[in-house]
A and B are shown apart, each in its own frame.
Chain A
Amino acid sequence: MRKTTFRIIILLSFTIVILQSCYPGEELTYSDTDIVATFYNKDVNFATKQTFAVPDSIIRIDENGNPVSDPGPFDQQILNKIKSELLALGFAEAAAPANADVLVIAAVTTSTWASGGCYYSWWYPGWYPPYPGWCYPVYYTYKTGSILIAMLNANANEAESGLWIAGINGLLGDSNTSTSSRINRDIEQAFNQSPYLGDGK
């Protein structure tokens, strides 16, 4: 009897270990889903790029890929943040776009995604006897927002037009205040992880 009890205790201990999730990740907040990716043209000497121009508006694209004329609530904030980051790197704002070494443009798009998965249950609802391991499907939708920032060569005579691009992506659905701070943080991150932009300045 003593041995059986002992074995039960051991079995329960190991069962607790086994029943832990396969994927022990923590819960994510909206801002946790933000990613910032940057790419650059390795053949470009950024020390030769000293002045920039930023258009007054942002390119907005709807979910079908069509341009949207209405401005968004964060457009001006995005433009201001891009300018301040360029200035912080040592760029100077050109008096006119024609005088700039680089043009920096921004585009914003949102997408609604539908997804699904398998929810495992002790038994499949409505079935008897229980069928362990069965799952029933779950469907959900989520909305993502993306900001693209592209630095283009303003001198059309040079072969390389695309110099640098940043892509920012994350889940939407938070409050406007949170979205605003996420935009600032992520644009700042895009420039921080691209220190070569400040070469020679």
Chain B
Amino acid sequence: MRRLGSLPVLLAPAVLILVTALLATQASVSTESYFVDTLVKVTIVVALYAFIGNSGVLSFGHISFVALGAWTAGVLTVPASEKPAIMPGLFHVLRTTNVGNVPSLLLAAVAGAVFALVVGLPLMRLSGLAAGIATFAVLEITHNVLSYYEKIGPGVNAFSSVPETTGVWQAAIGALIATVVAFAYQRSRMGRQLRAAREDPAAASAAGISIYRQRLVAFVLSGALAGFAGGLYIHLLPLTNNTVYLDLTFLTLAMLVVGGVTSLLGAVVGALAVSALDSFLSAAENGVTIAGGHLDLPAGTGLVVVGALMALVLIVRPSGLTGGRELRIPRRRS
């Protein structure tokens, strides 16, 4: 029975993702894009969770892995005939190499992992505020370099002409893969060691756990997931470097915090709840009719409400909607 007891931990988020995908197939073409976008956000938030949730260390830098993944997948899938027009300054190798949809997603994950390894090797020694600021610095550096270094991408222009292969099912399968990986990791020996170190660093290192090594493992794994999510994202819509910067960092962190930082279920629930609210509000900014009444909000209301909600959740219920707990079948006493 011990094995069955932990099954809901994986099943609950997976079912939520599948339900979202099924709802998306029933929706009209215009609302479908909101659902697909939501599923990509779920993938990003699960990636964030894999590191922040398990280690308890804050990272503002994960969106730079998403950005690098997006750039990798984008550069390698724009049709060769259109590359000179969109990205004239590209490296020769990148100009002549083209891969398909699935390889581009895998390479995006590899790019995210390698970047996270390079960054994590020095940074995982830090914790607390220094870690927060240093990961923020990583985000700033990545954004700055992607904006101006036109040998690896379109610079400040939009990443147009990337094949739009991320439909409902690609997004749903992507989110499921991320969820399964995060689940397998948190149940593994390494995941448990890291969670122990989160609860009590002193006791964990006394028990022989290398906190630095476990954090690095989680960082690289979550960098891979974030890069993968970036690949999904660029196949959804033409991103610019500003799409994968502060706003997305804020939104995904808000999702994680609103759901509950320390559980996989919290990551998925938070991403779905905030996305639903955000999508509804951005639809309402263009005017919607609901329950007989017409609602027409001024542009920008979405961020105001999400910001207020996040502050409110942090004040009233700092452990998030799920309380940071997974769904479990209550045990019968024996």
Q: Tell whether A and B belong to one assembly.
A: no
Chain B residues near A (Cβ < 8 Å): none
Chain A residues near B (Cβ < 8 Å): none
